[in-house]
Structure 1
Amino acid sequence: MTPAPPRRLVDIFVLNLALADLVFVFTLPLWAVAAGQHHRWPFGRVMCKISSYIIAVNRFSNIFFLTCMSVDRYLAVVRLMDSHVLRSSRCVHLTCGVVWGVSLLLGVPSLVYRHLSEEDDGSSCIDDMDSLFFKAMILLTGFLTFMLPVLIIVLCYGSILAKLRKHSISAGNQRAEARRRHSLKIVFTIITAFLVSWLPYNVFKTIQVISSMSDTSLGDAVQENLSRGLIISSCLAFVNSCINPAIYLSLDKHFRRSAAALCLNCLGHGDAQHSYVSSNSFSNATSESLGSVPSRGRLFSLTQKT
């Protein structure tokens, strides 16, 4: 039998994140066909709206669930004694429900204000940039789904690293310090991936909206470059939906062992009912970074609780 890691509450966020990505993947063939036809949309108005809505909901839910995961790790490591209620199974499920509800609600403007632009050589599925309300919603969602999450994620992981640093110093051994540095590498990589994935899209989109709201003429060349930038940055933004597992796989030994166990179970070489694997390897990196001295006992248990 291939052993599998115990189930943790953070796995609930991971499962919901995976569900959002899976639904998003179903829309990719449509956009691939459109891209192959020079961004002409051959699937009609209804599919234009629905696929755009799914992408918007995926965008919001992905960022919110990543933020929830960082808050969960903060509570587990820094505020364990004060977080029993917040880290209960009921509260986590309620949080997931709220995230889905908010994401579905914030995606409605994309459903309403996405339309087909009729041109001589075909139709394009684009945003209705004539609506002042829609442009205001773009700016609002840019704040809610980028600036605010970045602030929360940086604060949470910064507090975690400060806690680990304090513990490694008090522990006074080189092994604890080495593991703290490894945790720092994982955290820095996660935050960098998040910023690299989403910063260009938010910058291009904000420039587009502000120039439209102020009736500023950017010129044909600038408009063309802006449109290209939005296309490229949109693709880059969605890379974030799949890059975190790659980060964990390359940097965390526990995640690699868990992935190997899952593959063996899927191939029938293990007990399928024990094949649940957590994708949040930072919790394991956190627990590993606490050293081997006796005083690590309470902190070590932080990331192992459900």
Structure 2
Amino acid sequence: CVPVQEWACLSLDHQLLSLSHVYLPILYFIIFFAGVLGNLFVLVVIVSRHKRRGRLVDTFMLNLALADLVFVFTLPLWAVSARQHDQWPFGNLLCKLSSYIIAVNRFSNISFLTCMSIDRYLAIVRLMESHLLRSSRCVHFTCGVVWAASLVLGIPSLVFRRLMMHGDSSSCLEDLNSSFFQVMVLLSVVLTFIFPVLVIVLCYGSIIVKLHEHSATSNLRTNARHRHSLKTVCTIITVFLVSWLPFNVFKSIQVISKISNTELDEDLERYLSRGLIISSCLAFVNSCVNPAIYLFLDKHFRHSATVLCLSWLGQGDIQQSYFSSNSVSTSESVGSTASHGCLFSLTSTN
């Protein structure tokens, strides 16, 4: 959408998508409100759960929700810009800052997903050797490294995004004529999509093989818990792939054509730009769907959310009854990593 409008070579007077100045702002504000409410709710539920008992994976979930929350706060700016036919009325500083936040969110989002996948691999496939790596201190250190790396890797977007004048109007665009930035764009595709996807596939491939090996000796309850865990994780990863794959494909084609000095005809250039608009919208939707996935597929998150909502409504007796009736199920999802069943139930991730 507007945050990735790299079609500066095209005339701004020629609208790439009919009525985009109408439906793009609407879509942006829908993502904004859904993202703010959903991710705030996730943060509150996880923080309240940590006061009683928490899962290691909750730390990754909390940081991921925080990254998505910061990102969606930039969407009203882009909505206003889209409404004004891609003109940017907020100045150069906000142009750079909002673009930087988008880049940081992109790096941190996939990094936390990858960390969750590695955590699942260690907990299920390398259980006996992973006590130190899966300690609370190590998880917090890992989150700090992810944030630091994301802040650094987002700097090129801060430097190479600027206001570009077109007559009396200005737009917030990337300078794709810079060779350095072209290389950084391709590198970001590798770091934020290709490499993480390979790691995730290897981790969950190993997990599936491990679960298949032990399925014959596991009881029905354990098998059901394993299937539930894999369903949740597979849904999250599938949503991420569907959200970000089109954008990475269109972005790579655009940059490679510039690096190779390939001249694209006007129609192909327009189709490419339209693809970037639509695919970036799809990518940004990813920042507001994770809370819904947690609520519908993660029974432990749903349990904690229900308990919290009951406490807000002042239903203390009902809350206590609900908590007691689910204490056995909840206890399987938290606490020490010494329990094999506990580790499987921790698979409710991003």
Q: TM-score range by the shorter chain?
A: 0.7 to 0.9
1:149 is the counterpart of 2:196: yes
Which amino acid letter does the alignment assign opposite residue 264 of structure 1?
L
Instruction: Output one character per residue of 1:3-61: Cα deviation in whole Å (capped at 9) or x when no partner.
Output: 95721222111121121112112211101101111111111111100110011001111
Correspondences of 1:19-30 after superposition (within 5 Å): 19-30=66-77
Instruction: Output one character per residue of 1:230-277: Cα deviation in whole Å (capped at 9) or x when no partner.
Output: 121112112222323322322333332222123233445469xxxxxx
SS at match of 1:130: coil
Give the conservation status (yes or no) of the 8 Å contact 1:204–1:229: yes
- 2:37 corresponding residue in structure 1: none
Correspondences of 1:248-263 after superposition (within 5 Å): 248-263=294-309
Give the conservation status (yes or no) of the 8 Å contact 2:72–2:287: no
Which amino acid letter does the alignment assign opposite residue 201 of structure 2?
V
- 2:241 corresponding residue in structure 1: 195
- 1:218 corresponding residue in structure 2: 264
- 1:236 corresponding residue in structure 2: 282
1:16 is the counterpart of 2:57: no
Correspondences of 1:11-160 after superposition (within 5 Å): 11-120=58-167, 122-160=169-207
For 1:23 and 1:303, the matched residues in 2 are separated by: 31
Give the drift of 1:185: 2.9
1:301 is the counterpart of 2:342: yes
Which amino acid letter does the alignment assign opposite residue 162 of structure 1?
V
Which amino acid letter does the alignment assign opposite residue 134 of structure 1?
F
SS at match of 1:170: coil
Closer, same or farther: CA 89–176 of 1 in aligned 2, 3 Å: closer
- 1:167 corresponding residue in structure 2: 214
Structure 1, unpaired ranges of 5+: 272-283, 289-296
SS at match of 2:208: helix
For 2:257 and 2:94, the matched residues in 1 are separated by: 29
SS at match of 1:116: strand
The CA RMSD measured in Å over matched residues stands at 2.5
Give the conservation status (yes or no) of the 8 Å contact 2:161–2:174: yes
Give the conservation status (yes or no) of the 8 Å contact 2:123–2:343: yes
SS at match of 1:46: helix
Give the conservation status (yes or no) of the 8 Å contact 1:75–1:83: yes
Instruction: Output one character per residue of 1:154-183: Cα deviation in whole Å (capped at 9) or x when no partner.
Output: 121222222222222122x55544444444
Task: Flag as ranges the 4+ runs of structure 1 deviating above 6 A.
Answer: none
Residues matched between the structures, number: 282
Instruction: Output one character per residue of 1:167-207: Cα deviation in whole Å (capped at 9) or x when no partner.
Output: 22122x55544444444433332221111011001000000
User: Between the two proteins, what is the percent identity of the paired residues?
Assistant: 67
- 1:264 corresponding residue in structure 2: 310
TM-score relative to the length of structure 2: 0.74
Give the drift of 1:153: 1.2
TM-score relative to the length of structure 1: 0.84
Which amino acid letter does the alignment assign opposite residue 148 of structure 2?
G
Closer, same or farther: CA 248–158 of 1 in aligned 2, 3 Å: farther
Deviation larger for 152-161 or 25-34? 152-161
For 2:316 and 2:110, the matched residues in 1 are separated by: 34
Give the drift of 1:86: 0.8
Closer, same or farther: CA 195–181 of 1 in aligned 2, 3 Å: same
Give the drift of 1:217: 1.2
SS at match of 1:40: coil
Closer, same or farther: CA 178–117 of 1 in aligned 2, 3 Å: same
Structure 2, unpaired ranges of 5+: 1-47, 318-328
For 1:53 and 1:270, the matched residues in 2 are separated by: 45
For 1:16 and 1:41, the matched residues in 2 are separated by: 30
For 1:94 and 1:83, the matched residues in 2 are separated by: 15
Instruction: Output one character per residue of 1:111-156: Cα deviation in whole Å (capped at 9) or x when no partner.
Output: 0000112113511111101100000000011101101111111121
Closer, same or farther: CA 14–182 of 1 in aligned 2, 3 Å: closer
Which amino acid letter does the alignment assign opposite residue 280 of structure 2?
S
For 1:180 and 1:20, the matched residues in 2 are separated by: 29
- 1:294 corresponding residue in structure 2: none
